[in-house]
Amino acid sequence: MSLRRLASYGPAFVLGVAILLIWELAVRTGSVNDFYLPAPSAIIVALFQNWDVIASNTLQTLLETVLGLAVSTVLGLFLAILLDITPWVRRAIYPILITSQTIPMIALAPLLIAWFGLGLGPKVVVVTLYCFFPISVACADGLFSVDADLVRLMRSMHASRWQILWLVQLPGAMPSFFSGLRMAATYSMTAAIFGEFVAAEQGLGVYMKLSFNARVIVLVFAAILVTALLSLFLFGFVSLIERIALPWYHGARRRI
């Protein structure tokens, strides 16, 4: 990352530090009850003291998240291609796709547990239900927006429908696909935790719930901190893959 780009995060950094300082001060001076809102320093200390337990729970949640994202990516791409193939398939599938997003997850999650049990499966399903939609919609938009003249050019070369999809539409849809994936990545972790909250044996969601029930609020915050950091990391990771996969889109002058 260039220095200039790093510097553009300056204002956000200053504001973040300011908020943390005010928070810390408010707790230390006793104007806020540190039982309900522990100081940032206390959260970090608690995080390090309980690292073993938190780490193993984090690993479980991360596994669910990554699996869910992987399934979402495959499903999202598949649906986007399906939507693109013929108008009647699009007319048939699109409304169902939209409807799937109107189902309140909070009602569905307990059902998923009832159907698939307490294991990994239902969490992966919850993450997928949250994440496939932005991926498939963004990717489908990318596929639709192909230049009609380009399709004509390909047809003049006697390219098949699949060749047009593979050589022109899919590569052209990659920037849209990645913006969908980045969006999905940011809330995939939250989705996994939501799944765990409903019922699970392990994971950050369970850990938060147990800590809350035991009235150790500081550990709830420690788990929130881990979640936030990992979500940011996932976002950054997807952006990094995009930069590597689409050098042409990020202003590269030539193949390196």
Partner 1 sequence: MGAPKLTLQGVTKVFHTGRRTLETLRPIDMAVAQGEFVTLIGPSGCGKSTLFTIIAGVEEPSSGVISLDGEVTTQRAGKAAYMPQQPLLLPWRTVEENVLLGLDVRRVPRKDALEQARALLKRFGLLEFADHYPGTLSGGMRQRVALLRTVLFNPQFLLLDEPFGALDALTRLSAQMWLLDLWQSLHASVVFITHDVREAILLSDRIYVLSARPASILRVVEVDLPRPRVQEHLALPRAVQLEQELVALLLKEQTL
| Site map (CB under 8 A) of partner 1, residues 190-209, x = contact | --------------------
For residue 4, state whether it binds partner 1 (rule: CB under 8 A). Answer: no
Tokens at 119, concatenated: 């294991």
Strands (E), 74-176: none
Among 3, 107, 157, 244, binds partner 1 (CB under 8 A): 157
Name the residue with tokens 């994440």.
131
Residue 244 binds to partner 1 (criterion: CB under 8 A):
no
Site membership for partner 1, residue 252 (CB under 8 A): yes
Taking contact as CB under 8 A, which single stretch among the options 2-10, 82-90, 167-175, 216-224 is the one that binds partner 1? 167-175
CA distance 120 to 60: 9
CB of 139: closest distance to partner 1 in angstroms?
Answer: 15
Nearest residue (CB) to partner 1, 8 versus 145: 145
Q: Which class for 219: exposed (0-12), middle (13-18), buried (19 or more C-beta within 10 A)?
A: buried
Q: How far apart are CA 138 and CA 76, in angstroms?
A: 9
Is residue 161 near partner 1 by the rule CB under 8 A?
Answer: no
Name the residue type at position 211.
S
Q: Hey, what are 242's tokens? A: 């995009």
CB nearer to partner 1: give 4 or 152.
Answer: 152
Both structure tokens of 179: 């913006």
Q: Which is nearer to partner 1, 32 or 150 (CB)?
A: 150
Residue 69 Cβ vs partner 1, minimum distance, rounded to whole Å? 24
Which of the stretches 49-57, 152-160, 187-195, 216-224 binds partner 1 when contact is defined by CB under 8 A?
A: 152-160
Rounded least distance, CB 80 to partner 1, Å: 18
**Residue 248 interacts with partner 1 (CB under 8 A): yes or no:** yes
Q: Which two tokens stand for residue 166?
A: 């593979």
Q: Is 102 in the site for partner 1 (CB under 8 A)?
A: no
Report the 3 state secondary structure along 111-180.
Answer: HHHHHHCCCHHHHHHHHHHHHHHHHHHHHHHHHHCCCHHHHHHHHHCCCCHHHHHHHHHHHHHHHHHHHH
Instruction: Dihedral sign for Cα 20, 21, 26, 30, please.
Output: positive
HSE-CB of 104 using CA atoms within 13 angstroms? 3
Site for partner 1 in 16-35 (CB under 8 A): none
Check residue 165 for interaction with partner 1 (CB under 8 A).
no
Q: Which residues bind partner 1 (CB under 8 A)?
A: 147, 149-150, 152-159, 163, 167-168, 171-172, 174, 246-249, 251-255
